[in-house]
Chain A
Amino acid sequence: MKAPRILVLRAPGVNCDVETEAALKFVGGAPEPATMAEVRAGRVRVLDYAMVVFPGGFSYGDDLGAGKILAVQIRSYLKDLRHLVRQKRPVLGVCNGFQALVKAGLLPFGSGEASAGFAANDSGRFEARWVHLRLNTQSSSLFFRGLPEMIELPVAHGEGKLVLRSPRLLEDLKKNHSIAMQYVSDDGKLAGYPANPNGSVFNIAALSNPEGNCLGLMPHPERFTAIYHHPNWTRQTFFKHCVGLEIFRNAVEYCRS
């Protein structure tokens, strides 16, 4: 079967593109890198692709806030993206890509209006660390098939504190199973810093649209595609499941079916 074409979109300052493409390749996808300039010029069209990925990084230096300018560009130049989401094709935003999708109003609901935002981590610092996460077992996310409820992934960001526009929105998110991942302690409980590395409301680490084909997450799945990525692989006491790779595999297999 032909490998599905996957658009990996880069803007100046995006810097997790290479390992993201590598991860997609490992699971049989055909990633195609493209820059915002090519999209703007009409040389690249999102609807030609089975899936679109916004990798992590610091698009435009995060100079007006994390992912902000990229979000403005998504609104202005990627109008087809919402169409692609409606067609149930997978869209993935990692870290900066997640921040941009939220600010562009594609997550948690594709309303086009930003209902959530991001603030600086409560610690006031950039934080790079592995975190424990609990997946929402009721989520319809196509990315999570076959994954255990408790997983580990690394985060690395300075502006990861998710803030919701209103408390009512939190209830909506719960109802729609849109809270895809939460930061938890090693025994699976909602806990404060450092288990929750940024102070996100309700420990939210990832959001999915209710349909389950658009996922945004602060942790980096592309950094856990071999067991040697895990910080404790030399101790051999952890669950030997490369969660990151499985997330990409689910997406690529979904594209195939």
Chain B
Amino acid sequence: MSVSSTLANGAARPAATQRATAAFYRVEVSLKRDLPDPEGARALSLLHAAGLSAIKKVRSNKIYAVRGPLTLSHIHQAAKELLCDVVTEDYKILSPQAPASGSRRIRVEVWLKPEVSDPAEDSILLAFTCAGLPKPVSARQGAVCYIEGRVAQAALEKAIGRWLANPLIHRISAAPSA
């Protein structure tokens, strides 16, 4: 039941500290393009309230970090059957490398800090076993926002910390995205 302390930053742990079977995956789940994104619209209106009126659009996704004795095909099965609703959502398995830079969109990841227990963890672990998959060692749920419009990265992180997340319990990281 222990929560790995480095999971939440979204970066893979150095291989030396892992058991051979404890692979680490990140799965990003997005609404299908033709569906409205009320969560993104809410974020947009709050960022406007924060004074960042040049932001034009916010799209919100969910993200999962799962560590455990899982193969790539396991994680694809889990993504398809558990982590996303195939009728309304798409998923992609993220590579552990940082996303490409130099784009007009900013990608923001928000995770609960490692010392804050994630209320969704038990459910995620349970879901894997119910679907007949190996039980992960740990799992966390986070949020991703894609932000379009002119805004300085530092100002954005600050506004998100004040209006959408909370630096006391969340780790917020923004980076340009493809």
Any A–B CB pair closer than 8 Å: yes
* 8 Å CB interface, A84-137 against B: 103, 114-125
A199 to B31, CA, bound (A): 15
Stretch binding the partner chain, chosen from A25-33, A69-77, A180-188, A218-226? A69-77
Question: Taking CB as reference atom, which chain B residue is nearest A61?
Answer: B123
A68 to B86, CA, bound (A): 11
A214 to B34, CA, bound (A): 30
Q: Which residues of B contact A103 (CB under 8 A)?
A: 85
A185 to chain B, nearest CB (A): 21
Question: Taking CB as reference atom, which chain A residue is nearest B120?
Answer: A63
Q: Which residues of B contact A77 (CB under 8 A)?
A: 130
Question: Taking CB as reference atom, which chain A residue is nearest B83?
Answer: A64
Instruction: Assess whether A165 is interfacial by the CB under 8 Å rule.
Output: yes
Q: Which residues of A contact B31 (CB under 8 A)?
A: 119
Q: Which residues of B contact A60 (CB under 8 A)?
A: 123, 126-127
A-facing mask of B37-58, CB < 8 A → 1, else 0?
0110110000000000000000
Q: Are B87 and A64 in contact (CB under 8 A)?
A: no
Instruction: Assess whether A65 is interfacial by the CB under 8 Å rule.
Output: yes
Q: Which residues of B contact A164 (CB under 8 A)?
A: 87
Q: Are B124 and A63 in contact (CB under 8 A)?
A: yes
Chain A, interface residues (CB within 8 Å), range: 20 to 34
Q: Are B130 and A73 in contact (CB under 8 A)?
A: yes
Q: Which of the residues A68, A72, A117, A124 comes within 8 Å of B38, measured between beta carbons?
A: A124
B43 to chain A, nearest CB (A): 10
Instruction: Assess whether A3 is interfacial by the CB under 8 Å rule.
Output: no
Q: Are A76 and B131 in contact (CB under 8 A)?
A: yes
Instruction: Assess whether B115 is interfacial by the CB under 8 Å rule.
Output: no
Q: Are B38 and A64 in contact (CB under 8 A)?
A: no
Q: Are B82 and A72 in contact (CB under 8 A)?
A: yes
* 8 Å CB interface, A54-68 against B: 60-61, 63-65, 68
Q: Which residues of A contact B41 (CB under 8 A)?
A: 124
What is the interface of chain B, defined by CB distance below 8 A to chain A?
31, 35-36, 38-39, 41-42, 81-89, 119-120, 123-124, 126-127, 130-132, 141
A-B contact pairs, 29 of them (CB 8 A): A60-B127, A61-B123, A63-B123, A63-B141, A64-B82, A64-B120, A64-B123, A64-B124, A65-B84, A68-B127, A69-B82, A72-B127, A76-B130, A116-B87, A117-B87, A117-B89, A118-B85, A118-B88, A119-B85, A119-B88, A122-B38, A123-B38, A124-B38, A124-B39, A124-B42, A125-B38, A163-B88, A164-B87, A199-B36
